[in-house]
Amino acid sequence: MKVMVLGGAGDMGAAAVRDLVNIPEVKQVTIADINVKVAKNLAATSGKNKARVQMVDATSRDALVGAMRGHDVVAGALGPFFRFERPIVEAALEAGVDYVSICDDHDAIASILPLDNEAQESGQVIMSGMGWTPGLSNILARKGFNELDRTEKVHIYWTGSTGDAVGLTVLLHLIHVFSGKVPSFQGGRQVEVVAGSGHQKIEFPHPLSEINVFELGHPEPITMPLFFEGVQEVRLKGGLVENHFNRIIRFLSRVGVTRSQSGTRIVGELLKTLLPLFPINRKRSFSGIRVDVEGEKAGEKIRYSYAAIDNPRRLTSIPLSIGTFMVGRGDIKRRGVFSPEAEGAIDPEVFLGELNKRGIIIDEKKEKI
Protein backbone atom coordinates (compact mmCIF):
# COMPACT_ATOMS: atom_id res chain seq x y z
CA MET A 1 0.00 0.00 0.00
CA LYS A 2 1.35 3.41 -1.00
CA VAL A 3 0.10 6.35 1.06
CA MET A 4 0.61 10.07 0.65
CA VAL A 5 0.28 12.39 3.67
CA LEU A 6 -0.54 15.86 2.41
CA GLY A 7 0.80 18.40 4.89
CA GLY A 8 2.96 15.60 6.20
CA ALA A 9 5.63 17.88 7.65
CA GLY A 10 3.17 19.66 9.96
CA ASP A 11 2.32 18.72 13.55
CA MET A 12 -0.60 16.41 12.80
CA GLY A 13 0.71 15.14 9.49
CA ALA A 14 4.09 14.20 10.94
CA ALA A 15 2.49 12.21 13.75
CA ALA A 16 0.36 10.35 11.19
CA VAL A 17 3.49 9.59 9.15
CA ARG A 18 5.19 8.08 12.20
CA ASP A 19 2.21 5.82 12.83
CA LEU A 20 1.73 4.79 9.20
CA VAL A 21 5.34 3.66 8.70
CA ASN A 22 4.84 1.16 11.54
CA ILE A 23 1.95 -0.60 9.79
CA PRO A 24 3.41 -3.64 7.94
CA GLU A 25 0.98 -3.45 5.01
CA VAL A 26 2.05 0.14 4.28
CA LYS A 27 5.05 -0.12 1.98
CA GLN A 28 5.62 3.57 1.25
CA VAL A 29 4.62 6.86 2.85
CA THR A 30 5.10 10.01 0.78
CA ILE A 31 5.50 13.14 2.87
CA ALA A 32 3.97 15.80 0.61
CA ASP A 33 4.67 19.32 1.81
CA ILE A 34 6.01 22.65 0.65
CA ASN A 35 8.51 22.61 3.53
CA VAL A 36 11.01 20.15 2.06
CA LYS A 37 13.68 20.67 4.73
CA VAL A 38 11.38 19.65 7.57
CA ALA A 39 9.92 16.81 5.47
CA LYS A 40 13.38 15.38 4.77
CA ASN A 41 14.27 15.45 8.44
CA LEU A 42 11.02 13.63 9.25
CA ALA A 43 11.72 11.02 6.57
CA ALA A 44 15.20 10.44 7.95
CA THR A 45 13.98 9.98 11.52
CA SER A 46 10.66 8.18 11.00
CA GLY A 47 12.23 4.71 10.85
CA LYS A 48 11.48 1.64 8.72
CA ASN A 49 13.00 3.28 5.60
CA LYS A 50 9.51 3.73 4.12
CA ALA A 51 9.20 7.51 3.97
CA ARG A 52 9.75 9.54 0.81
CA VAL A 53 9.56 13.31 0.30
CA GLN A 54 7.75 15.21 -2.42
CA MET A 55 7.50 18.99 -2.59
CA VAL A 56 3.88 19.96 -3.27
CA ASP A 57 2.36 23.42 -3.56
CA ALA A 58 -1.24 22.86 -2.48
CA THR A 59 -2.37 26.07 -4.17
CA SER A 60 -1.59 24.46 -7.56
CA ARG A 61 -4.29 22.08 -8.84
CA ASP A 62 -1.92 20.47 -11.35
CA ALA A 63 0.74 19.92 -8.68
CA LEU A 64 -1.77 18.26 -6.38
CA VAL A 65 -3.17 15.96 -9.04
CA GLY A 66 0.28 14.95 -10.27
CA ALA A 67 1.55 14.24 -6.76
CA MET A 68 -1.50 12.16 -5.80
CA ARG A 69 -1.38 9.84 -8.78
CA GLY A 70 0.34 6.53 -8.13
CA HIS A 71 -0.81 6.34 -4.51
CA ASP A 72 -3.53 4.08 -3.13
CA VAL A 73 -4.85 6.68 -0.69
CA VAL A 74 -4.08 10.25 0.32
CA ALA A 75 -4.26 11.34 3.97
CA GLY A 76 -5.11 15.03 4.31
CA ALA A 77 -3.53 16.97 7.19
CA LEU A 78 -3.25 20.33 5.46
CA GLY A 79 -5.14 23.20 7.03
CA PRO A 80 -6.77 25.53 7.48
CA PHE A 81 -9.45 23.40 5.89
CA PHE A 82 -11.82 26.27 5.23
CA ARG A 83 -9.23 27.25 2.64
CA PHE A 84 -7.91 23.93 1.34
CA GLU A 85 -10.44 21.07 1.70
CA ARG A 86 -12.61 21.69 -1.37
CA PRO A 87 -9.67 22.18 -3.81
CA ILE A 88 -7.90 19.09 -2.42
CA VAL A 89 -11.02 16.92 -2.76
CA GLU A 90 -11.48 18.13 -6.34
CA ALA A 91 -7.84 17.22 -7.06
CA ALA A 92 -8.29 13.75 -5.52
CA LEU A 93 -11.36 13.15 -7.69
CA GLU A 94 -9.42 14.17 -10.80
CA ALA A 95 -6.47 11.99 -9.79
CA GLY A 96 -8.74 9.01 -9.13
CA VAL A 97 -7.33 8.51 -5.61
CA ASP A 98 -9.17 7.83 -2.35
CA TYR A 99 -8.85 10.60 0.22
CA VAL A 100 -9.15 10.72 4.02
CA SER A 101 -8.74 13.97 5.96
CA ILE A 102 -8.86 15.50 9.42
CA CYS A 103 -10.98 18.43 8.15
CA ASP A 104 -12.59 20.07 11.18
CA ASP A 105 -14.21 23.17 9.67
CA HIS A 106 -18.00 23.01 9.29
CA ASP A 107 -18.13 25.18 6.18
CA ALA A 108 -15.39 23.14 4.50
CA ILE A 109 -17.28 19.85 4.90
CA ALA A 110 -20.51 21.50 3.77
CA SER A 111 -18.69 22.62 0.61
CA ILE A 112 -17.65 19.08 -0.39
CA LEU A 113 -20.89 17.19 0.29
CA PRO A 114 -22.29 18.21 -3.14
CA LEU A 115 -19.43 16.20 -4.72
CA ASP A 116 -20.92 12.95 -3.39
CA ASN A 117 -22.47 11.84 -6.69
CA GLU A 118 -19.25 12.44 -8.59
CA ALA A 119 -17.28 10.36 -6.09
CA GLN A 120 -19.87 7.58 -6.16
CA GLU A 121 -19.79 7.45 -9.96
CA SER A 122 -16.00 7.15 -9.95
CA GLY A 123 -16.07 4.58 -7.15
CA GLN A 124 -13.91 6.67 -4.81
CA VAL A 125 -13.83 7.10 -1.06
CA ILE A 126 -13.73 10.71 0.14
CA MET A 127 -13.94 10.45 3.94
CA SER A 128 -13.63 13.88 5.52
CA GLY A 129 -13.39 14.58 9.23
CA MET A 130 -11.28 11.62 10.37
CA GLY A 131 -9.35 13.12 13.27
CA TRP A 132 -10.17 13.90 16.89
CA THR A 133 -13.32 15.99 16.53
CA PRO A 134 -14.65 15.29 14.03
CA GLY A 135 -13.40 11.72 13.66
CA LEU A 136 -13.12 10.01 17.01
CA SER A 137 -16.25 11.91 18.06
CA ASN A 138 -18.19 10.55 15.07
CA ILE A 139 -17.10 6.96 15.68
CA LEU A 140 -18.01 7.11 19.36
CA ALA A 141 -21.40 8.54 18.39
CA ARG A 142 -21.88 5.69 15.91
CA LYS A 143 -21.03 3.19 18.66
CA GLY A 144 -23.72 4.69 20.88
CA PHE A 145 -26.18 4.82 17.99
CA ASN A 146 -25.59 1.11 17.31
CA GLU A 147 -26.21 0.27 20.99
CA LEU A 148 -29.56 2.06 21.20
CA ASP A 149 -32.88 1.04 19.67
CA ARG A 150 -33.66 4.70 19.03
CA THR A 151 -31.24 7.62 19.25
CA GLU A 152 -32.59 11.05 20.17
CA LYS A 153 -29.59 13.22 21.07
CA VAL A 154 -25.85 13.37 20.47
CA HIS A 155 -23.81 15.90 22.44
CA ILE A 156 -20.10 16.30 21.67
CA TYR A 157 -17.68 18.16 23.93
CA TRP A 158 -13.99 18.81 23.46
CA THR A 159 -11.25 20.70 25.23
CA GLY A 160 -7.58 21.39 24.64
CA SER A 161 -4.74 23.16 26.37
CA THR A 162 -2.64 25.85 24.75
CA GLY A 163 0.28 23.99 26.29
CA ASP A 164 -0.44 21.07 23.96
CA ALA A 165 -0.41 22.67 20.52
CA VAL A 166 0.08 26.31 19.55
CA GLY A 167 0.75 26.09 15.82
CA LEU A 168 -0.65 28.81 13.58
CA THR A 169 -3.05 26.44 11.80
CA VAL A 170 -4.54 25.36 15.15
CA LEU A 171 -5.00 28.99 16.17
CA LEU A 172 -6.62 29.89 12.84
CA HIS A 173 -9.07 27.03 13.31
CA LEU A 174 -9.89 28.12 16.87
CA ILE A 175 -10.55 31.69 15.77
CA HIS A 176 -12.66 30.46 12.84
CA VAL A 177 -14.91 28.20 14.94
CA PHE A 178 -15.45 30.94 17.53
CA SER A 179 -16.60 33.40 14.83
CA GLY A 180 -20.04 34.36 13.56
CA LYS A 181 -22.96 31.93 13.51
CA VAL A 182 -22.36 28.19 13.43
CA PRO A 183 -24.48 25.10 12.68
CA SER A 184 -26.40 23.15 15.29
CA PHE A 185 -29.13 20.52 14.93
CA GLN A 186 -32.03 21.06 17.31
CA GLY A 187 -35.64 19.97 17.24
CA GLY A 188 -34.99 17.79 14.21
CA ARG A 189 -33.75 20.62 11.99
CA GLN A 190 -30.66 22.61 11.14
CA VAL A 191 -30.35 25.93 12.95
CA GLU A 192 -27.63 28.51 13.42
CA VAL A 193 -26.37 29.62 16.82
CA VAL A 194 -23.93 32.34 17.83
CA ALA A 195 -20.42 30.95 18.20
CA GLY A 196 -19.22 31.28 21.78
CA SER A 197 -22.76 31.16 23.23
CA GLY A 198 -24.36 28.39 25.30
CA HIS A 199 -21.75 28.34 28.07
CA GLN A 200 -21.60 25.13 30.12
CA LYS A 201 -19.18 23.47 32.51
CA ILE A 202 -18.56 19.86 31.48
CA GLU A 203 -16.76 17.13 33.39
CA PHE A 204 -13.85 15.48 31.55
CA PRO A 205 -11.64 12.64 32.82
CA HIS A 206 -8.96 13.37 35.42
CA PRO A 207 -6.86 15.48 35.52
CA LEU A 208 -8.95 17.82 33.37
CA SER A 209 -12.09 17.82 35.58
CA GLU A 210 -14.61 20.64 34.85
CA ILE A 211 -14.00 22.72 31.72
CA ASN A 212 -15.86 25.73 30.27
CA VAL A 213 -17.30 24.91 26.84
CA PHE A 214 -19.27 26.89 24.24
CA GLU A 215 -21.19 26.39 21.00
CA LEU A 216 -18.58 26.22 18.23
CA GLY A 217 -18.49 25.61 14.51
CA HIS A 218 -17.67 21.96 13.76
CA PRO A 219 -18.95 19.47 11.17
CA GLU A 220 -20.74 16.96 13.42
CA PRO A 221 -24.09 18.83 13.59
CA ILE A 222 -24.07 18.89 9.77
CA THR A 223 -23.09 15.27 9.04
CA MET A 224 -24.59 13.20 11.87
CA PRO A 225 -28.24 13.99 11.03
CA LEU A 226 -27.53 12.68 7.53
CA PHE A 227 -26.48 9.28 8.84
CA PHE A 228 -28.34 8.82 12.17
CA GLU A 229 -31.96 8.14 11.31
CA GLY A 230 -34.43 9.77 13.69
CA VAL A 231 -31.93 11.82 15.68
CA GLN A 232 -33.47 15.04 16.97
CA GLU A 233 -30.47 16.89 18.36
CA VAL A 234 -26.76 17.07 17.56
CA ARG A 235 -24.80 19.78 19.35
CA LEU A 236 -21.10 20.46 19.70
CA LYS A 237 -19.42 22.54 22.37
CA GLY A 238 -15.74 23.09 23.02
CA GLY A 239 -13.27 25.34 24.71
CA LEU A 240 -9.71 25.66 25.89
CA VAL A 241 -8.61 24.55 29.34
CA GLU A 242 -7.32 28.09 29.94
CA ASN A 243 -10.62 29.98 30.09
CA HIS A 244 -8.92 33.38 29.81
CA PHE A 245 -7.99 32.40 26.26
CA ASN A 246 -11.63 31.53 25.46
CA ARG A 247 -12.57 35.03 26.64
CA ILE A 248 -9.98 36.66 24.39
CA ILE A 249 -11.09 34.80 21.25
CA ARG A 250 -14.78 35.42 21.99
CA PHE A 251 -14.10 39.14 22.45
CA LEU A 252 -12.13 39.42 19.20
CA SER A 253 -14.89 37.62 17.33
CA ARG A 254 -17.63 39.84 18.71
CA VAL A 255 -15.87 43.08 17.84
CA GLY A 256 -15.62 41.84 14.27
CA VAL A 257 -11.87 41.64 13.65
CA THR A 258 -12.07 37.97 12.54
CA ARG A 259 -14.80 38.33 9.92
CA SER A 260 -12.37 37.97 7.00
CA GLN A 261 -9.64 35.43 6.29
CA SER A 262 -7.05 38.20 6.34
CA GLY A 263 -8.29 39.44 9.71
CA THR A 264 -8.29 35.90 11.08
CA ARG A 265 -4.70 35.39 9.98
CA ILE A 266 -3.50 38.68 11.50
CA VAL A 267 -5.15 37.79 14.83
CA GLY A 268 -3.76 34.26 14.67
CA GLU A 269 -0.21 35.43 14.13
CA LEU A 270 -0.54 37.97 16.93
CA LEU A 271 -1.89 35.37 19.37
CA LYS A 272 0.87 32.92 18.44
CA THR A 273 3.41 35.56 19.40
CA LEU A 274 1.65 36.42 22.67
CA LEU A 275 0.80 32.87 23.82
CA PRO A 276 4.01 32.32 25.82
CA LEU A 277 2.98 35.27 28.02
CA PHE A 278 -0.21 33.56 29.18
CA PRO A 279 -0.27 31.25 32.23
CA ILE A 280 -0.65 27.52 31.55
CA ASN A 281 -1.54 24.88 34.13
CA ARG A 282 0.93 22.14 33.19
CA LYS A 283 -0.89 19.63 35.39
CA ARG A 284 -3.88 19.95 33.07
CA SER A 285 -1.97 20.24 29.81
CA PHE A 286 -4.05 17.60 28.04
CA SER A 287 -6.79 17.53 25.45
CA GLY A 288 -10.03 15.67 25.88
CA ILE A 289 -13.20 14.48 24.23
CA ARG A 290 -16.58 13.45 25.57
CA VAL A 291 -19.53 12.15 23.56
CA ASP A 292 -22.96 11.62 25.15
CA VAL A 293 -25.52 9.62 23.16
CA GLU A 294 -29.08 9.51 24.52
CA GLY A 295 -32.05 7.46 23.44
CA GLU A 296 -34.11 4.37 24.14
CA LYS A 297 -33.08 0.76 24.67
CA ALA A 298 -35.53 -2.01 25.59
CA GLY A 299 -38.09 0.58 26.62
CA GLU A 300 -35.74 2.53 28.93
CA LYS A 301 -34.17 5.96 28.52
CA ILE A 302 -30.41 5.42 28.36
CA ARG A 303 -27.32 7.61 28.03
CA TYR A 304 -23.99 6.25 26.81
CA SER A 305 -21.02 8.47 27.60
CA TYR A 306 -17.60 8.00 26.04
CA ALA A 307 -14.51 10.01 26.99
CA ALA A 308 -10.74 10.09 26.49
CA ILE A 309 -7.79 12.35 27.16
CA ASP A 310 -4.38 12.47 25.48
CA ASN A 311 -2.11 14.76 23.50
CA PRO A 312 -4.03 16.43 20.62
CA ARG A 313 -1.48 15.25 18.08
CA ARG A 314 -2.21 11.65 19.01
CA LEU A 315 -5.96 12.18 19.30
CA THR A 316 -5.97 13.67 15.80
CA SER A 317 -3.23 11.88 13.88
CA ILE A 318 -3.79 8.31 15.03
CA PRO A 319 -7.45 8.26 13.87
CA LEU A 320 -6.23 9.68 10.55
CA SER A 321 -3.61 6.95 10.25
CA ILE A 322 -6.04 4.16 11.17
CA GLY A 323 -8.76 5.48 8.87
CA THR A 324 -6.31 5.86 5.99
CA PHE A 325 -5.08 2.30 6.46
CA MET A 326 -8.65 0.94 6.63
CA VAL A 327 -9.49 2.69 3.37
CA GLY A 328 -6.33 1.43 1.68
CA ARG A 329 -6.98 -2.11 2.90
CA GLY A 330 -10.49 -2.06 1.45
CA ASP A 331 -12.39 -2.15 4.75
CA ILE A 332 -14.62 0.77 3.76
CA LYS A 333 -17.39 -0.43 1.47
CA ARG A 334 -19.19 2.87 1.08
CA ARG A 335 -18.33 5.12 -1.86
CA GLY A 336 -18.84 8.85 -2.23
CA VAL A 337 -18.27 11.81 0.06
CA PHE A 338 -19.06 11.09 3.69
CA SER A 339 -17.86 11.29 7.29
CA PRO A 340 -16.71 8.37 9.48
CA GLU A 341 -20.07 7.72 11.18
CA ALA A 342 -21.83 6.94 7.88
CA GLU A 343 -23.29 3.48 7.37
CA GLY A 344 -20.68 1.33 5.62
CA ALA A 345 -17.80 3.55 6.74
CA ILE A 346 -15.78 2.92 9.92
CA ASP A 347 -16.64 -0.11 12.06
CA PRO A 348 -16.40 1.30 15.62
CA GLU A 349 -15.23 -1.95 17.19
CA VAL A 350 -12.42 -2.49 14.68
CA PHE A 351 -11.33 1.14 14.94
CA LEU A 352 -11.41 1.28 18.74
CA GLY A 353 -9.43 -1.94 18.88
CA GLU A 354 -6.69 -0.30 16.80
CA LEU A 355 -6.87 2.81 18.98
CA ASN A 356 -6.46 0.71 22.11
CA LYS A 357 -3.31 -0.90 20.67
CA ARG A 358 -1.82 2.59 20.44
CA GLY A 359 -2.59 3.40 24.06
CA ILE A 360 -5.64 5.65 23.64
CA ILE A 361 -8.23 4.28 26.03
CA ILE A 362 -11.92 5.14 25.91
CA ASP A 363 -13.84 5.44 29.19
CA GLU A 364 -17.41 4.22 28.70
CA LYS A 365 -20.42 4.70 30.97
CA LYS A 366 -24.04 3.64 30.64
CA GLU A 367 -26.78 5.12 32.78
CA LYS A 368 -30.54 5.40 32.94
CA ILE A 369 -31.92 8.91 32.53
At residue 177, the pLDDT reads: 82
Task: From 261, 269, 250, select the one nearest 178 (Cα to Cα).
Answer: 250
The beta strand positions in 216-286, using DSSP E, are: 233-240
The domain limits of the chain are 2-131+313-360, 136-311
Asked if domains 2-131+313-360 and 136-311 share a fold, the reply is no
* Predicted local distance difference test score (pLDDT) of residue 323: 98
* pLDDT the model gives residue 158: 95
The CATH number assigned to the domain with range 136-311 reads: 3.30.360.10
What CATH architecture does domain 2-131+313-360 belong to? 3-Layer(aba) Sandwich (3.40)
Residue-level pLDDT at 256: 63
Distance CA 142, CA 342 (A): 8
What per-residue confidence (pLDDT) applies to 164?
60
pLDDT of 168: 63
Other beta carbons within 10 Å of 212: 18
Per DSSP, helices labelled H in 135-228 are: 136-147, 168-177, 220-227
Low-confidence ranges of the chain (pLDDT < 70): 163-169, 255-264, 266-268, 270-285
Task: Give CA–CA dist 79/100, Å, rounded.
Answer: 13
pLDDT tens across 120-160, in order? 999 999 999 999 999 999 999 999 999 999 999 999 999 98
